[in-house]
Amino acid sequence: MPGRIALLPRNKVGYPVPWFVATIDGQPDFRVIRAGGIQAALRQNLCWVCGCSFLRQEDRAFTIGPMCAVNRVSAEPPSHRDCAVWSARNCPFLATPRMVRRDRHKPEGAVNPAGIMLTRNPGVALVWVTRYRSWGTRPDGNGGREATRTEVLASIDSGLPLLREMAEQDGRAAVAELEVMHGAALALVPAGAP
């Protein structure tokens, strides 16, 4: 566990409570983003997971599903690379492919983030690392199980119809652009993934 995550408060069962999590009636609700959290993280240059500042030239990492790799969109601000990798491997929702979102008993007034959200669990998570003027992914060999190429491709194949349906509403140019982006994302899936 990265030291910055180890310093976070814990919930009643001992999980670290990420910086972005809202506190409702004195308890963290992992399904809800803290009020103003997205804006604060972006404005103050804070890690989405630990809430600590980034170093000036430090890489930024996004914990996303394969569809975000296709359309290059994330609804969440970046994290430190080690915070993102740890989250992808240890967050119960991200690390459990069959886990479903718990929408029952959501706090009153809770709304989805801006944009169009695919509410399914993609079954795999990836960490997209960014540098100034370059984009790329990097595998990390420490702990946890890497998704197989078959699992990644199955997740892309199951989510792509949702993106295609949205693109079709925007017309042929949007569908063509999606196909180009899809091809570019497939090129990033390592051929030799376990």
- 113-157 pLDDT, tens digit each: 656 667 777 888 899 988 744 432 233 344 456 678 888 888 889
| pLDDT above 70: residue 35 | yes
Instruction: Please give the pLDDT value at position 13.
Output: 92
Structure-model confidence comparison of residues 31 and 100, the more confident one: 31
Residue 31, C-beta contacts closer than 8 angstroms, at least 6 positions apart: 101, 102, 103, 106, 110
pTM of the full structure: 0.68
Alpha-carbon distances of 119 from 103, 139, 162, rounded to whole Å: 10, 26, 11
Structure-model confidence comparison of residues 111 and 163, the more confident one: 163
Instruction: Please give the pLDDT value at position 42.
Output: 83
User: CB neighbours (10 Å) of residue 193?
Assistant: 14
| pLDDT above 50: residue 36 | yes
Per residue in 52-79, pLDDT (tens digit) is 998 877 888 999 888 888 888 777 889 9
The H or E element spanning position 87 is: helix 81-90
Q: For 7-21, 65-79, 108-122, 162-176, which range has the lowest pLDDT when averaged over its residues?
A: 108-122
Q: For 139-143, 165-169, 181-185, 190-194, which range has the lowest pLDDT when averaged over its residues?
A: 139-143
Instruction: Please give the pLDDT value at position 133.
Output: 42
Mean confidence (pLDDT) of the chain: 83
Instruction: Report CA Rg, the chain.
Output: 17
Tell the residue number behind the tokens 């540098």, with chain if given.
131
